A and B are shown apart, each in its own frame.
Chain A
């Protein structure tokens, strides 16, 4: 079991470019969460997705940011027209689903993160 796989691990973009971050959840996990971490801070919730559905995007900026989790393939976090303030570590996490929550085994498994640097 390879765990939650994120790529790229490091991404450098110039202001105005687009950043695409990919996340492949653990095998058997159908729920994906994206979090952002600024230096010396805790993680901030961005968005929660199930296959082909956005369940909660309350933590996502209204502009320039979007996320998807297609039926096939990884979840994608897309940041358009990046600015320096977007520089952060972006973490993806996955869980089996609601059933696991009820049973109490609803902990998230995190990927190693993608570190975005905007020049």
Chain B
């Protein structure tokens, strides 16, 4: 069964705007990861946040984690057309990389 739900399912913005995607999950986790998938391609790892961390940055990406609410958010600042893709959160609960994915947010960034 899927662990998480992403919100919104689809997001359409203009270049330069910020994009925020949310993810909720059901069980306790070791870490939460965000991946990007361009149409028809494999997944690319973006960022990992451990259960004892609250916020993490990587370039234009900012991830927050609230374990009390079992939720995470991914913020992409100053978006570009090249950011157009599907974004998935995935959680790890056990001792290995059995990722449980949400259904994803489809982001469209218009020039």
Report A's interface with B, CB cutoff 8 A. 4, 31, 33, 35, 40-45, 48, 55-56, 91, 93, 95, 98, 101, 104, 106-113
Query: B99 to A45, Cβ gap below 8 A?
Result: yes
Among B48, B50, B98, B101, the one with the most A-chain Cβ atoms within 10 Å of its Cβ is B98
Q: A98 and B96: CB pair below 8 A?
A: yes
Cα distance A40–B103 in the bound complex, in angstroms: 8
**Cβ contacts under 8 Å, B41 to chain A:** 112-113
Q: B9 — nearest CB in chain A belongs to which residue?
A: A40
Q: Is B45 an interface residue (CB 8 A)?
A: yes
A55: B residues at CB distance < 8 A: 96
The answer to whether A98 and B95 touch across the interface, beta carbons within 8 angstroms, is yes
B33 beta carbon closer than 8 Å to chain A: yes
B103, A42: Cβ atoms closer than 8 Å: yes
Interface size on B, residues (CB 8 A): 23
A108-B88 in contact (CB<8A): no
> Which residues from chain A contact B103 at a C-beta distance below 8 Å?
40-42
Q: How near does chain B come to A37, taking the closest CB pair, in angstroms?
A: 9
- Look across to chain B and name the residue whose beta carbon is closest to the beta carbon of A115: B40
Chain B 82-111 near chain A by CB (<8 Å), digits 1 or 0: 000000101010011111111110000000
Contact, CB under 8 Å: B101 / A44: yes
User: How far is B108's CA from A69's CA once the two chains are assembled, in angstroms?
Assistant: 38
Contact A101/B96 with A42-B2, A42-B102, A44-B101 known, Cβ cut-off 8 Å: yes
A45 CA / B90 CA spacing, docked (Å): 11
Q: Which residues in B have their C-beta under 8 angstroms from that of A44?
A: 2, 101
Q: Is the CB of B96 within 8 A of A110?
A: no
Residues of A within 8 A of B99 (CB): 33, 35, 43, 45, 108
In the complex, B44 has a CB within 8 A of chain A: yes
B residues near A45, Cβ cutoff 8 Å: 98-100
Partner of A43, one of B48, B96, B101: B101
Distance A108 CA – B100 CA, assembled complex (angstroms): 12
Cα–Cα, bound, A108→B88 (Å): 14
In the complex, what residues of B have CB within 8 A of residue A107's CB? Answer: 33, 45, 48, 97
User: Which chain B residues border A95 with CB–CB below 8 Å?
Assistant: 97
